[in-house]
Amino acid sequence: MLAGEEASIEIVQRWLQRRSSDEIETGSSSGSPGARAGRRSSLALTPEDEPLVDVANRSPPPSHIPAALFYAPPEPLELLCVFPERASRVCAAACNAAARAGGESRAVRGPREALDAFRRDADARIPHVVVIDARQPQLMDPTLLARAIRGMKNTQHVILVAVVKKSAYLKDDFAVIPYLEAGFNRVMVETLGATAWCAEMLQARAAAATTRAHVGAVAALTAATDRCRDLVAVTDDQQRILLTNKSWCRVVGWRPEEAPRPLTEAVSGEALRLAASGVRDWEAPVLIRRRAAPDPVLLPCRGSSVTLNKNTSHVVFVCEPSNAMDCERARGSLHSIRRGSLDVRSVASDGLRRTSLAKLQGLPLEAPITKVISLLSAATDGAPPSTIACIDRAVDMLRTSELYSPQMREDPKMRAEDPIATDLIGALLSREQVNSNIFYMQGATNVLSSRRSSNDSTVVRSQANRTNMKHKTTGQLREVLDTALSWEFEIFRLEDLTRGRPLTHLGLTLMGGRFDVCSTLECDERTLLHWLTVIETNYHAVNTYHNSTHAADVLQAVAFFMEKERLKMLLEPLEAAAALISAAAHDIDHPGTSSAFLCNSRHSLAILYNDVSVLESHHAALTFKLTLNDDRVNIFKNLDRDTYKSVRHNVIDMILATEMTKHFEHLAKFVNVFYAKSNGSKEDNMNTDEPLSLDTTALTSPENVVLIKRMMIKCADVSNASRPQKFAFEWARRIAEEYFLQTDEEKAKELPVVMPMFDRATCSIPRSQIGFIDYIIIDMMEAWAAFIDMPELVNHARNNHQRWRELDEAGVTTIADVKRAQRQNAIQSAPNSTSQPTAEE
């Protein structure tokens, strides 16, 4: 009879390897009986009628492991005998010995009944020791049953004993090996001796208690690590990861049930070198590679080597999570609704081949973050002395407060080739407008600090407040409004049919109908009608561009974008409502002049807002002032405090995002977060032939969802150039006229001229639009079109760009010339179009 713990299998296997090598060296590899008899095994048998002494390592645990941790509550022995014979005398002897040892026993005849005994029913008692008859393999395969038992959960503490025939046991010194490999702990020669069986039961009971204590201690420590915020990993002496806690799996992207893997798959750095050196305790930074992220994360790590004898058996890694990881963990329910992913390569394949991040490097401006990317790319090439200098410069740039705020780059060649585009971009980046906005910078952190799930109170609709008010419209108006979710929506025809009041009608159709904002905000439709009326009344109808028609156009674009599958998946109803509100009110009370003009003229709004985001701050503030001042208008009156706060933060953040001086900052952040970074450099054109590659893992972060909403309203705000040609031309005419009026007023008041290129006597409308599309529209629309799967955005922009170039080559410059070109285009397309011409046409 042989006794041994499960852990002794590896020891026996190593001994067998050494024995085989010895036999080969001595020429005894033939395996003859004589050669085998001439060598005495270290697993020598004791007298046949007595059980073997347990060969497992029973030395006390090391002093640094609390002995009290190895605790198992005293339990009476539970014996299960599996014998195919109906009346086996060996089985009876084992059951009698269990009773003499103070335990209980039961006998079954087959594997099915044996496995049923391990089901954790309410009244079931899991056996501590299982004795399996291995004498008749033709009736029952003992090794197969042992593997099945070991394959069940929580059976590590069960002691399996195989009963074998005496003749088979004495035939080979290594007859026990197959049983040990199958999961048996002990092998016993068949016997009817009461003394032998009683001794076996006592040893089995002690072994079971010890195993239960060890397994219980490991389970307790594993539970402790799983509830720890730190990242914990345990490896063996070969640096294979054996155990990771939930925090590690969440950050790295592993599944707990995955098989052991090399430590080098996830960890690199100084910590790995110290762990391999055998140092007992150490602290060092560690680089952890995450499965769902391209860049590793650097974390502080504390480690310890566990040594039971002289050699290290385990190494423990404990890493402190960063604040960003805490934010991801606090995200909670949003991960489940944002798990979808799409590969936008198919969207980008039909012509969208230029990476927006690459195009940013070709613009006539330089942002510190762009410089940092270039320097770090150069540093990785491995130039020894210059690497240190590059990194030092990068660190200096990272210390600046606005990494994404671009400044004009001195480029005489650019200015000579395209002075109009250069002046246009310079005006947009006027330093009087590019002051830091503290609230704006904090928006990314605060906007979703109190995000509410679609399962929260916003879902509980107050039906008592709902008024089913029909939107009365004429036949022609209804025909136009029925196409409100088309990118070819006739916004100017709506303007004519509503006599300059398109926002109220379109808002009722989209906000009150398609997106059911009333249910989300728990208000009635009459309140929404009053709110839309007040908002539209506070737009200046005398403005040629910044009027309620522009607000309705932006509202329609936002609604169209939110019908795309990706945004449907990402945005909650409350966020969609906030986006529509922001679009409708984003330019309310716009005076028809820029923020720089207000600052230069010392306007009261510029004084009120300290020359910082003057117009956008005014639009946001006036929106809430008008809304909250009158209960008949207050669409937020039924929201609880937290929900109102969330909506307010969303609306303010999106309105502030429409400030054009922040355009390149928002675009650079969006592209850097959501698209895979190119490995090229400015000198090699940044691999511009590669398609856009979306990083879907970034969708799960609340800060990144804020970037999406900002990008959405920005694209809607300047979507004119990406509309069909007849709409794009009319919007270009209107914005040019408004800029001309500002330049005229600046000259009359002897103020600095913010946009000198928009002088009605010298301006070329086609050239201004060509520069605007080249340096503002194309890059942004490429990134956004690939994100929401809408290639027509870029197609329209390029078609309009081509048409403007043709007009420029034909000598078209003034507004009158553009009008004539519009009329000619309308006449040529009239036979192929059923749409009604606009008033301007």
Residue 686 burial class via C-beta count within 10 angstroms: exposed 0-12, middle 13-18, buried 19 and up: buried
d(CA 282, CA 302): 6
Cα dihedral 96, 98, 104, 110 sign? negative
d(CA 558, CA 404): 25
Four-CA torsion 459, 463, 465, 470, nearest 10 degrees? 110
486: DSSP letter? S
Catalytic site residue 546? yes
Query: Which helix H or strand E contains 299, and what residues bound it?
Result: strand 297-307
Four-CA torsion 335, 340, 346, 349, nearest 10 degrees? -10
d(CA 506, CA 492): 12
Q: Classify strands 312-319 and 365-366 as parallel, antiparallel or unpaired.
A: unpaired
Residue 430's SS3 state is: coil
d(CA 258, CA 381): 36
Cα dihedral 525, 496, 798, 410 sign? negative
| Six token digits for residue 214 | 């060890």
Q: Which of 128, 546, 586, 618 is catalytic?
A: 546
**Residue 419 CA to chain centroid, in angstroms?**
43
Other beta carbons within 10 angstroms of residue 81's beta carbon come to: 26
d(CA 44, CA 833): 100
Q: Give which of 468, 399, 752 is closest to 599, Cα–Cα.
A: 752
Percentages (nearest 5) of helix, strand, coil residues in the chain = 55, 10, 40
**Which amino acid, one-letter code, is at 44?**
A
d(CA 697, CA 335): 10
**Which amino acid, one-letter code, is at 769?**
Q
Burial 389-423 (b: 16+ CB within 10 A, else e): ebeeebeebeeeeebbbbeeeeeeebeeebebbbb
Residue 605's SS3 state is: helix
Query: Phi-psi bin for 502: left (phi > 0), alpha (psi -120 to 50), beta?
Result: alpha
Do 618 and 767 form a contact (C-beta atoms < 8 A)? no
Burial 349-381 (b: 16+ CB within 10 A, else e): eeebebbbbbbbbebbbbbbbbebbbbebbbee
d(CA 149, CA 157): 11
d(CA 86, CA 254): 49
Residue 41's SS3 state is: coil
Residue 280 burial class via C-beta count within 10 angstroms: exposed 0-12, middle 13-18, buried 19 and up: exposed
- Alpha helix segments (H runs only) across 245-296: 246-252, 270-277
Q: Give which of 616, 614, 568 is closest to 717, Cα–Cα.
A: 616
Do 235 and 228 form a contact (C-beta atoms < 8 A)? no
* Catalytic residue set: 546
